[in-house]
Each structure stands twice: as C-alpha cells, then as structure tokens.
Amino acid sequence: MLGFLGSRLLQSLLVLLAASFITFTLVFLLPADPARMVAGPSASVQTVTSIRHEMGLDRPFLGQYGAYLGRLVQGDLGRSYKQNTPVSTLLASRIGPTLQLMLGAIALELLIGLPLGIWAALSRGRWPDTVVMGLAFLGAAAPQFWLALSLVYLLAYRFNLFPLGGYGGLSHLFLPALTLGIGGAGWYARMMRSQLLEVLSQDYIRTARAKGQTARGVLIGHALRNATLPIATMIGLDIGTFMGGVVVVESVFGWPGLGRLVWDAIRVIDIPIIVGVVIFSAFVITLSNLLADFVQPLIDPRVRYR
C-alpha cells in the first residue's frame, strides 16, 4: 500500500513536470512581446529593450524554464507581467470563489441528478423516465456558454429571480453553479437510474420483497450505497472538467475566480499567470485523481490498490 502510494506520487510528480514543460513551451511560442505589453504603446524601443532585459526575456528558452522550475520548487510562480503582483498571491485570492463555484456545482449535480435518477428508475418506461432521460441528454449536449447566457436572459433578466452576475452570496452562486453542474447532473441521473434498476432486479431484493420488506427507502438506500463509488470517482473527474468550464462560466457571470483570472491573462498574454494557473490546475487534477485512487478501495473493498 505504501509502495502503491509512493509510485503514484512519483508518477504524479512526473506528470506535473511534463505539464509545466509543455505549458511553458507553448506560451514561449506565443507571437507576442510581453516587454512591449508591459511598456505600453508610447514607450520607446530603448525602454522596451531595458524592460525585456529586466524581465529576463532575452535569455534562451531552457535558461528561462530552468529558472522558472527553480523558483517553482520554492513555491514561487513569478510575478504577473501586467500587475507585477506575485502569481501565488493572485491564485490564493481567486481559489476561494472558484472552490465555492465547484462545490456549488457538485452539490447541485447531486441534488438534481440523484432524485431525478431515482424517480426515473421507479417509473421505468413511463413518461417521467423519458423526460428525465431526455433532460439528461439535453444537459450533456447544451453548450455551457449558451446555457449561461440563456439562464441570465431568462431567470435573471426576464423574471428577475437572480442577480445578473457578480460575486456575492448564495443567490449570486446559483446560476453559475447550475451552468457548471447541469451536464454532470444528467450524468448522475443516468448513473443513479441504472444503479437502482440493477438493485431492483437482483435476487436478494426479490427475496427481501418476498419477506415483505418492500419499503422503497430500503431499496433506494441500497442503490445509493452502490452508487458511492461511481460518485466518488466522478467527483474526482468533475474537478478536472470544471477547471476548463470555469473559464467560460466565470467570464460570463463575472465571477472572480481562477477561470476569469486566466482568461483575462490569456487576452493580454500575461504569461506568468497563464502558466501558473495551468500548472496549478494540473496539480489539482492530479491530486484529485490520486485521492480517487486512494479512496476507492476504502469505499469498495473489491477495488484493490494496483
């Protein structure tokens, strides 16, 4: 078990190293001059040259990458070109809102998905089943950015039920979290439905029924227990998909999280922020995969540490 953990950790580290290298290479190739961007249009060419030197941009690629890694190990992600603030400070101030958004989305996924899935399974073949499954498909097929705009238009603008955007309490959180989580809710509904159907068809259930324990609650409880493993795995995967989704959702809703931070940075090619967020995301994804690997056997003894 310790060996398993050790090898997974080592793997994760390698994954992160490779991710940092790929990201750094990609942004290094960007056809834009960060020194000019810092200097602004009116700055003379000499000013730009001196800024370029000051930023270390006149050094060869491997030198820049090596220096970056050296600082990364000490937890230093560099400073934003535009704002001159340490990237770690910016990340720290944006993690909270993004975390809220992700947790909100996961909560909504489960709160919407599981009951719908149960309802669909219990009314198998009848209209609620069809409707729920149809909605699940729609949720997976709807483009997030469009969903975000449509929700804003309908629920916030036309019916004035929610704030139009911005950061704040639960009412502000609801629409962005729903946008982020609606696809996942469909997945949970389908998963829950098939788990419950499986439970309903199993021999011991028939036995239990024969014995008179027909309470639906028992059956649902049983199916829910069976669903814990896929739920745990899916939440791990969700975090990965969310890291991309927050770019769109936070931009549309003006949510002050990592997604908007990185999208703003991409638009002005603020390389340290782009690299910082991508590496941080890779770290979070790797970590959540690692946790999922580690937690699965605890939930289900049939899964063994590989």
Partner 1 sequence: MTVTLNAPARPKSRNRTLTRFRRNPAAIVGLVVCLLIVLAALAAPWLAPHDPDFQFPEGLTLEGAPQPPGGLYPLGTDLLGRDLLSRLIWGARASLTVGFVANGAAVLLGVLIGALGALTRGWVGTAIMRFTDVMLAFPVLLLAIALTAILKPSLWIVALVIALINWVPIARVVYSEVASLREREFVEAAGAVGAGAGRILTRHILPHLIPTALVWGSLGVGTTVLLEATLSFLGVGVQPPTPSWGGVINESQSYLTTAPWLVLAPGAAILLTSLGFNLLGEGLRDALDPKGGR
Partner 2 sequence: MNRYLMVGITLALSTFTLAQAAPTRGGSVTVSYKDDVTTLDPAVGYDIQNWGIEKMVFDGLLDYEVGTTKLTPRLATAMPKVSSDGKTYTFTLRPGVKFHNGREVVASDVVYSLTRVLDPKTKSPGQSFYTSIAGAQAFVDGKAKTVSGLKAVGKYGVTVALEAPNAAFLNIMAMNFAFVVPKEAVAAANGDFGHKPLGTGPFKLTSWPSGQQLVFERNPSYYLPSLPYLDKVTIKVGLDPSVAFLSLTRGEVDILGDGIPPAQFLQVVKDPKYKASIFSQTTVNTSYMSLNTGVGPLKDLRVRQAINMAINKTKVLRIINGRGALAKGYLPPLMPGYDASEVGYKYDPAAAKALLAKAGFAGGFDTVLYTTSTDPNPRIAQSLQQDLAAVGIRASIKSQAQSTVTEAAGTKNTAPLVWSGGMAWTQDFPDPSDFFWPILSCKSAVQGGYNWPFYCDKALDARAARADQLVAPAQQVARLKEYASIFAALNKQAPWVPIYHEVRYMMKSERLVADSSLLNDPIHNIDYERLSVSK
Binding site for partner 1 (CB under 8 A): 11, 14-16, 18-19, 22-23, 26-27, 29-31, 133, 137-138, 140-146, 149-150, 152-153, 157, 183, 187, 190-191, 194, 233-234, 237, 240-241, 243-245, 247-248, 262-263, 266, 269, 274, 277-278, 281-282, 285-286, 289
User: What DSSP state is assigned to residue 83?
Assistant: T
Assess 32 for contact with partner 2 (CB under 8 A).
yes
Burial 191-207 (b: 16+ CB within 10 A, else e): bbbbbbbebbeeeebee
Pick the closer one to partner 2 by CB: 165 or 230: 165
Q: Which residues pair with 79 in a beta bridge?
A: 86
Q: What mask, x for binding partner 2 by CB under 8 A, covers residues 65 to 94?
A: --------------x--xxxxx--xx--xx
**What are the backbone dihedrals phi and psi of residue 50, each rounded to the nearest 5 degrees, phi first?**
-70, -35
State in angstroms the smallest separation of the CB of 62 from partner 2: 23
Q: Does 172 bind partner 2 (CB under 8 A)?
A: no
Could you tell me the smallest distance in angstroms from the CB atom of residue 30 to partner 1? 5
> Considering only residues 8, 19, 47, 232, which one is a binding residue for partner 2 as defined by CB under 8 A?
47
> Going by C-beta distance under 8 Å and a sequence separation of 6 or more, which residues neighbour residue 152?
164, 165, 175, 252, 253
Strand partners, 213: none
Binder of residue 197, out of partner 2, partner 1, none (CB less than 5 to 8 A by kind): none
Shortest distance (Å) from residue 164 CB to partner 2: 4
CA 52 to chain centre: 35
Q: How far is the CB of 6 from partner 1 (least distance, A)?
A: 16
Spacing of C-alpha 171 from chain mean position: 21
**Nearer to partner 1 among residue 49 and residue 165 (C-beta):** 165
Distance of closest approach, residue 70 Cβ to partner 1, in angstroms: 21
Q: Which does 79 bind (CB under 5 to 8 A by kind): partner 2, partner 1, none?
A: partner 2
Contact call for residues 176 and 259 (beta carbons, < 8 A): no
Residue 263 engages partner 2 in binding (rule: CB under 8 A): no
Task: Single out the residue of 194, 199, 187, 190 nearest to residue 223, CA to CA.
Answer: 199
**Among residues 208 and 268, whose Cβ is nearest to partner 2?**
268
- Write out 118-131 in H/E/C secondary structure: HHHHHCCCCHHHHH
As a residue count, the chain comes to 306
Give per-residue burial for 91-121: e unless 16+ CB within 10 Å, then b. Answer: beebeebbebbbebbbebbbebbbebbbbbb
- Nearer of residues 37 and 131 to partner 2, judged by Cβ: 37
Instruction: Decide which of partner 1, partner 2, none touches 37; Cβ closer than 5 to 8 Å per partner kind.
Output: partner 2
**What token pair was written down for 171?**
């009412």
157 sits near partner 2 (criterion: CB under 8 A): yes
**Do 27 and 275 form a contact (C-beta atoms < 8 A)?**
yes
Give residues in contact with partner 2 (CB under 8 A).
30-34, 36-48, 50-51, 53-55, 79, 82-86, 89-90, 93-94, 97, 152, 157, 164-167, 252, 254-257, 260-261, 264, 266-269
